[in-house]
Structure 1
């Protein structure tokens, strides 16, 4: 991490932007994250400044074997299916359909490392989720990657459908799904997660969290990357995600 970088200063800017539904045009020199280490320090500082409990993590990778990045999600931004949220709360907001895993045990800070098998054995349920992707930066998505990662990886809100027990035979790489907004499809391409099998991201996330001194509480939701890419609705309406084998998930934007 850059010794000159002030994670708390950046966190204060993010918290103020959230509170006032404002957008940041630029950052002061001492609050510009230049690396993943800087970004993760800013994430931690932001959660502290918000006095927020962690209810989940968003995690993803751009390729099947590429580097993984993650962000903790404030618990008050995680909602049950059917939630009604204001579009004004986010400004420009994108929607993604994802698969998440709810954990049924606690992982202690500074413990581990944990294997894939350890974490998969802890899965309490598999859930369809809609993530609202939103940024505190006016120029997003044309924003430097460490800045986006610092901004809780462009997290706005997470809507979680009802869960089903984990089944290793579920087609995690390419499940059949539809994602609609007021009945119109939001994507045409065959769904695919750029990370490949999202289960490969789970142990990494748990180990990443506990190595940062952050417990992973029982009930934590790990949402593991979009299958559909971003869709940007330009008017209020209802988004419905249906993933074959999972209960559907629904978000109403007002």
Structure 2
């Protein structure tokens, strides 16, 4: 991390933008993250300024063997299915349908490292989830990648359906699904997560958190990347995601 970067200064800008539903045009010198380490420091500073507990993590990768990145999610931004949210609170917002995992044990700070099998064994349940993707930057998505990562990886909100017990036989690579908004489909083609099997992202997330001194609490939700790409609804309405084998998830955008 460069000595010139001030994670707390950037966090205050993000929190102010969130509070006033404002957008940032640029970042001042000293508050511009240049790499992932600086972005992660800004994420953690943002949660401190918000005085927010971590309710979940979002994690993803652009390819089956590509690098993984993630972000902690404020607990008050993680909602049950049926949530009613104001789309105007987010400005330009996108929707993605994802598979999320709830952990059934706590992982202590500075513990590990954990293997894939260790974390998969801790999965309590599997859920369909809708992520609201939103940015604090006016130019999004044309924004520097470390800036987006610092901004909780463009996180707006997460809506989580009811869960079912983990089953290793579930078709995680390409489950059958539909994703509709006001009855019209939000995506066409075969659903696919660019990371491949999303379970490969879970141990990275836990190890990333605990290595930075953060506990991963029992009941934490890990949402692991979109199967449907990003849809940008233009009006208010209801989004319904149905993933075969999982309870449906529903979001009402007012």
TM-score for both structures, normalised by structure 1: 1.00
CA distance in 1, matches of 2:2, 2:36: 10
**1:167 corresponds to:** 167
Per-residue Cα deviation, 1:6-42 (whole angstroms, up to 9, x for no partner): 0000000000000000000000010000000010000
**2:184 corresponds to:** 184
> Per-residue deviation at 1:79?
0.3
> Per-residue deviation at 1:228?
0.4
**1:193 corresponds to:** 193
> Per-residue deviation at 1:207?
0.3
Per-residue Cα deviation, 1:190-221 (whole angstroms, up to 9, x for no partner): 10000000000000000000001000000000
CA distance in 1, matches of 2:236, 2:20: 21
> Per-residue deviation at 1:189?
1.8
Question: What pairs up with 1:110-129 in 2 under 5 angstroms?
Answer: 110-129=110-129
> Per-residue deviation at 1:3?
1.4
CA distance in 1, matches of 2:72, 2:103: 15
CA distance in 1, matches of 2:2, 2:93: 31
Per-residue Cα deviation, 1:46-83 (whole angstroms, up to 9, x for no partner): 00000000000000000000000000000000000000
**2:244 corresponds to:** 244
CA distance in 2, matches of 1:187, 1:144: 27
> Per-residue deviation at 1:229?
0.5
Unaligned runs of 5+ in 1: none
Matched residue SS, 2:42:
helix
Matched residue SS, 2:26:
coil
CA distance in 2, matches of 1:236, 1:6: 38
Matched residue SS, 1:162:
strand
CA distance in 2, matches of 1:87, 1:47: 22
CA distance in 1, matches of 2:86, 2:20: 14
**2:221 corresponds to:** 221
TM-score for both structures, normalised by structure 2: 1.00
**1:231 corresponds to:** 231
Per-residue Cα deviation, 1:97-130 (whole angstroms, up to 9, x for no partner): 0000000000000000011111011001000000
Structure 1 outlier segments of 4+, above 2 Å: none
Per-residue Cα deviation, 1:216-240 (whole angstroms, up to 9, x for no partner): 0000000000000000000000000
CA distance in 1, matches of 2:148, 2:228: 20
Superposition RMSD on alpha carbons, in Å?
Answer: 0.4
Question: Is 1:76 aligned with 2:76?
Answer: yes
**1:145 corresponds to:** 145
**1:64 corresponds to:** 64
CA distance in 1, matches of 2:84, 2:9: 32
